[in-house]
Amino acid sequence: MQGRGYVLSPCTRIFDQSPSRSWWRKCSDEEQGYDLDLFCIPKHYASDLERVYIPHGLILDRTERLARQIMKEMGGHHIVALCVLKGGYKFFADLLDYIKALNRNSDRSIPLTVDFIRLKSYCNDQSTGEIKVIGGDDLCTLTGKNVLVVEDIIDTGKTMKTLLDLLKQYNPKMVKVASLLVKRTPKSVGYRPDFVGFEVPDKFVVGYALDYNEYFRDLNHICVISETGKEKYKAGEETGVPL
């Protein structure tokens, strides 16, 4: 199988039996990705990456397909697209472009509004089930709306489950979550988004707005960071900035 000129990696196509009944790409643990030399990689990151894991073209194709699924399931009523910053902004922007194109060319278009939030989950530098929502308009405006939460990656799922519990307090008509990536990890609480781009192994990936201490957001492709990159951009314990 091919997509945008690349031979696709040995990923498995999975059919979800949940009500949304959506397909996603499950990348196996053995999948190594692509040589960096096959792609345009910024020189300042050349030694900081191991491989390109998901090429930009494949991300866009998958995002377009997700937009079709979302409009099919949510396109009958006003949609509020809620972007989880910072990592979700690239996926959010591309996904919204595809959704707007579908909406514009539809016989029955619907209102589409956007909002942005940031989530903090911590206690003495330890992740907890409590979240702090930063930014966003008054969440009371979500009442009676179809809300689409757009996230870059679901790791354990704890933070997203807590966010959904918070949003439900405002009585939206519907809440669904679109996540570009879902990580396979033994720490998962079993949460599965309604719309999934790719399921990936428990590797630290960067690029396409996913960061490592705020670096690598400017990469077009999703890549696996190298040990050199981790050490180079490691944050100081006291300052929280790269050493």
Q: Which residues contact 54 (CB under 8 A, 6 or more apart)?
A: 27, 33, 198, 200, 208, 221, 222
What is the bridge-based pairing of β-strands 146-154 and 174-183?
A: parallel
E strands in the chain: 2-3, 6-7, 11-15, 23-27, 49-54, 79-85, 112-120, 132-134, 146-154, 174-183, 195-200, 205-206, 222-225
Q: What is the Cα Rg of the chain in Å?
A: 18
Structure tokens at 102: 């579908």
Out of 16, 97, 115, 155, pick the active-site residue.
Answer: 155
- Burial bucket for residue 132 (CB in 10 Å: 0-12, 13-18, 19+): exposed
Check if 194 is active-site. no
Active site residues: 155
